[in-house]
Amino acid sequence: MAPELDQLRAADRLLLGSVRHCALPGTAILLLSTTGALTGLALPAVLGRTLDLLLSGRPATAWLTACAALTCLLVVVDALDGVLTGTTNARSTVWFRRRLLGHVLAAGPRCTDRVPPGDVVARLVGNAAHAGGAPATLAGTLAAVVTPVGGFVALALVDLWTAGAFLVGMPLLALLLKAFVRASGDSVARYQESQGEIAARLVEAVGGARTIAAAGTARRERARVLEPLAALSAQGYRMWRVQGRSTAQAAVLVPLLQIAVLTVAGTRLAAGELSVGGLLAAARYAALATGIGMLVGRLNGLVRSRGAARRLAGLLAVPATAHGDAELAPGDGTLELRGVTVAHGGRTILDRLDLTVPGGTSLALVGRSGSGKSTVAAVAGRLADPDAGTVTLDGVPLRELPRDVLRRAVGQAFERPALLGATIGGTIAFGPGEPDAATVREAARTARADDFVRRLPHGYDTPCAEAPLSGGEAQRLGLARAFAHPGRLLILDDATSSLDTVTELRVAEALTRQAGVRTRLIIAHRASTAARADRVAWLHEGRIRAVGPHARLWEQWEDYRAVFTGTDDTPEDRGRS
C-alpha cells in the first residue's frame, strides 16, 4: 500500500508542477469560468424580476436589456474559455512531454530496462496528453463548484424554505460524487495500464516483423499483441458502468430534489409569500444547485489526469544518470575496471570483475553468448553503472565526469546503430561537437563507408529515410560516427559483426594505424578480430579468466578455442589466427 501512496503523492506533485507552469492561463480560465458561473447565477434573478415587472404592467426595458446583455456575456465568455482551454492543454502537454523525454534520455538504457519501449511511448504520447488537461480542468472544476454552491445560496436568498427543502438531499449528492471518484479512479488506472501493455507488445512485434513473417507466426503474434485487449475492454465497460450508474442515480435524485423545491415554492406562492418571478428564480436556482452533471464531467477529467500522471511519475521514478564536475587531466586513455559487479533479474552478470586497458592499446573482449561482454562495454562507456566497483579513465571515476566531458572522451559504436541524423552526413556528425564536412568524409573513408555514400542520390546530403541500407552499411555509418568524434577511448560493441571479411580487415587496419590516438575496447566474436588486437581478455561467467595475446590463448586453452566454435570464421581466418 505504501508504494501506491508514494506513487499517488508523486503524481500529485507532478500535476502541481504543471499547474504552476500554466499558472497564468489557468488563472485566466478560472476567472472566465467564474465569470460565466456568476453570470449564469445572475440570469435567473434578472429573469424573475423582469417577469414580475411585465406581469404587473410596469416598464421593464432596462431589465430586458440586462437579460440580453447577460446572455451575450455568457456566449463570449464560453467562447474565450474554449479557446484558452485548448491552448492551455497544449502548453501543459508540451511541458509534460519535454520533462518526460528529457528524463528518459537522461536515464538512458536503464529506463527501457524497467519499462518496455512501447509503454514508454504510450506514456509520452497518450498519458502526457491526459495529464496535460489537468491545469485547465482544475481551473474549470473550481469554477464549476461556484454554480451549485452559488445556486444554493441564491435559492436561500430567494426563499429560505425552498433552500431548506433542497438541503435535505445534499448528503446524498455528496455520497454520489465520492463513490464516482473512487470507482472511476481505479478503472481509469487499470485501463491506462492495459493500453501501455498493448503498445509495448505492438512495438516488439513491429521490431521483429521480419522474424514473424519468416516464421509464419503472424496470427499467433497478433493474438499475443491483442491479448490485453480483453482487460482493456473490461475496464472500458467498467468506466461506462460507473458513469452510467452515477448518471442514473443523479437522474433519480436530482428531479426529486427539484420537485421538492418546486412543491415548497408553489406552496409559498399560493400563500402569497413568493411572487411568480420568485418561483421562476427558485426553479432555475434549484436546477443550478443540482446540476452536478458538469461537475461529474470535470471530476472525471481530473481522475483521468491523475491516473495518467501516476504512470508518468512511475517513469520519472527511474533514476537519471548523475554526473560530477571533475576535470579530466591529460592522459593516454587508460581504462580500469575494479571490482565491477552487475546483477539483473536476480542473476549476477559481472562478478567483481577487474580489467585494465592500457592507454593507446587495443583489447578484444571475447566470451560465449551471455558471458557479459555487452555489459562490460556498457559499463566502460557509462551507459550503465555497476552495482559495485569503480570504472576510471586516466584515473578519474566516470561517475565524477561532467556529461559533455565524458561523451567527448568516450566514443562508442554498436552492432545495430540507430541512424539519428536527418541526412547521412548528419548521422555521421551526430554527437558531441560539430565535425566539419572534411572530418565527416574522412571518418566515412576510415569506416569504408565513403564509396557507397557517394553513390546515393544526394551523397552525404541524402535523407536517411531515402537511403535503404544493409546491415553492414548501417554498421559502417555507426563506425564512421564514432571515428568522427575522436576521444581517448573507443568502444566497439560487436560493431563489425555485419561486415564482410575484407571490409572488416580494412577497418581493423585503420584502427591499428590509430594506435597512438585511442584506447580501443572491442567486443569480438570472430577469431580474426581477436587476433588483430594487442591483447585479448577472455570473459567467462562474469569474470576475466585469462588475458594475453590471442595466439597464446588459442594455443594454451581448448576452452578458449571453443568460444569461437560455430562463428562465421573462414579457414583463412583460422589460419591467420
Query: Could you tell me the three cell numbers for 529?
Result: 578480430
Could you tell me if 299 and 312 are in contact, meaning their C-beta atoms sit under 8 angstroms apart? Answer: no
Task: Quote the number of domains for the chain.
Answer: 2
Q: What is the pLDDT of residue 569?
A: 42
Q: What is the pLDDT of residue 112?
A: 76
Beta strands per DSSP E along 372-471: 388-393, 396-397, 410-414
Main-chain phi, psi angles of 357, to 5 degrees: -115, 105
CATH number reported for the structural domain that contains residue 206 in this entry: 1.20.1560.10
**Shared domain check, 559 and 527:** yes
**Boundary residue ending a domain (288, 316, 344):** 316
**Shared domain check, 340 and 278:** no
CATH number reported for the structural domain that contains residue 377 in this entry: 3.40.50.300
In a domain, 221, yes or no: yes
Contacts of 365 (CB under 8 A, 6+ apart): 373, 376, 377, 521, 522, 523, 524, 536, 537, 539
Query: Could you tell me the three cell numbers for 356?
Result: 585494465
Predicted confidence (pLDDT) per residue in 465-522, tens digit:
888 888 888 888 999 998 888 889 999 988 777 787 778 777 777 766 654 458 999 9
**Shared domain check, 343 and 283:** no
**Shared domain check, 343 and 277:** no
In a domain, 388, yes or no: yes
**Boundary residue ending a domain (255, 286, 316):** 316
Pick from 299, 291, 371: which is nearest to 537 by CA?
371
**Shared domain check, 362 and 252:** no
Query: Could you tell me the three cell numbers for 420?
Result: 539519428
In a domain, 328, yes or no: no
**Shared domain check, 352 and 296:** no
Q: What is the pLDDT of residue 173?
A: 67
Instruction: List the beta bridge partners of residue 489.
Output: 410, 519
Q: What is the pLDDT of residue 274?
A: 76
In a domain, 6, yes or no: no
- CA neighbours within 13 Å on the CB side: how many for 130? 23
Query: Could you tell me the three cell numbers for 247?
Result: 448518471
**Shared domain check, 479 and 443:** yes
Q: Which helix (H) or strand (E) holds 280?
A: helix 276-289
**Boundary residue ending a domain (284, 316, 348):** 316
In a domain, 255, yes or no: yes
In a domain, 4, yes or no: no
**Shared domain check, 301 and 397:** no
**Shared domain check, 374 and 413:** yes
Cβ neighbour number for residue 373 with a 10 Å cutoff: 20
- Cα angle for residues 560, 562, 566 (degrees, 5° grid): 135
Query: Could you tell me the three cell numbers for 170?
Result: 445534499
| Amino acid identity at 385 | D
**Shared domain check, 421 and 295:** no
In a domain, 5, yes or no: no
- Spell out, as residue ranges, where the chain has pLDDT lower than 50: 515-516, 566-577
Query: Could you tell me the residue range of the domain that residue 425 belongs to?
Result: 335-576
**Shared domain check, 348 and 311:** no
**Shared domain check, 288 and 350:** no
Q: What is the pLDDT of residue 548?
A: 93
In a domain, 326, yes or no: no
Query: Could you tell me the three cell numbers for 434?
Result: 560539430
Q: What is the pLDDT of residue 364?
A: 92
pTM: 0.72
